[in-house]
Amino acid sequence: MSALIKVVDSPGLSEILREAHVELTPRESRIIDDCHKKSFTTWVGYNGTELVCAWGIIPPSVLSDEVYLWLYATGAIKTNQFLFIRQSQIIIQRLLMEYRAVVGHVKADAASSKRWLKWLGAEFGPAKAGFLPFRIERHG
C-alpha cells in the first residue's frame, strides 16, 4: 500500500473519523471538530482505504510566524507509522518555508508520538501537567 494524504474541506472531521470506524467519545468529537474549525488546513492520511491519522495547523494570529500543530492518530498508526514519516517530513518542510517554527504539545508518556516528532526535528521542553511542549524550527 501507499500513503495518501488529503486535505479535508468538509466541516465535520469527527464524522469522517466515525465513517472510518474510529470510535470517539462525545468529548473527543467536540475537541476534534473544534481543532478542525480553528485550523488553517486539516489533512487526513490513509494507507489504502484505512484512515491512519488526521492533523491540522492553527496559526495563533494572521500575522504569526509560528503555527500550532495538532494530530489525531488512529490505532492503525502503530502498523503504518513508517509509511507516513517521509510524507510528514515533506509537509513539515513546506510549513517551515512559510512559518519560522511549528509548535505543539505531546503527552509525556506517548513514546511513539515523541519518536515521530523527533524524526521531524522536534525539540522538547520540560513536562507540565503530563504534556511536553515541542518546537520544530526552520534552519538557515
55 part of a folded domain: yes
Q: Does a structural domain hold residue 21? A: yes
pLDDT digits (tens, 9 = 90+) for 74-130: 877 667 666 677 788 888 999 999 999 999 999 898 887 788 889 889 999 999 999
* Residue 133 belongs to a domain: no
Note whether residue 78 is domain-resident.
Answer: yes
Query: Does residue 51 lie within any of the structural domains?
Result: yes
DSSP-derived 3-state class of residue 45 = strand
| pTM for this predicted structure | 0.84
Nearest alpha-carbon partner for 138 in 102, 85, 87, 106: 102
| Interval 21-65: pLDDT, tens | 888 899 989 999 999 999 999 999 888 888 888 899 998 888 889
CATH number (domain holding residue 53): 3.40.630.30
Query: Rounded CA gap, 48 and 2, in Å?
Result: 6
Q: What is the pLDDT of residue 15?
A: 92
Domain contains 112: no
Domain total of the chain: 1
Give a yes or no: residue 125 inside a domain. Answer: no
- Domain limits at 57? 3-104
Q: Would you say the C-alpha torsion 97, 94, 116, 24 has a positive or negative sign?
A: positive
In a domain, 130, yes or no: no
86 CB neighbour count, 10 Å cutoff? 11
Residues near 72 by beta carbon (within 8 Å), at least 6 away in sequence: 17, 32, 35, 53, 54, 55
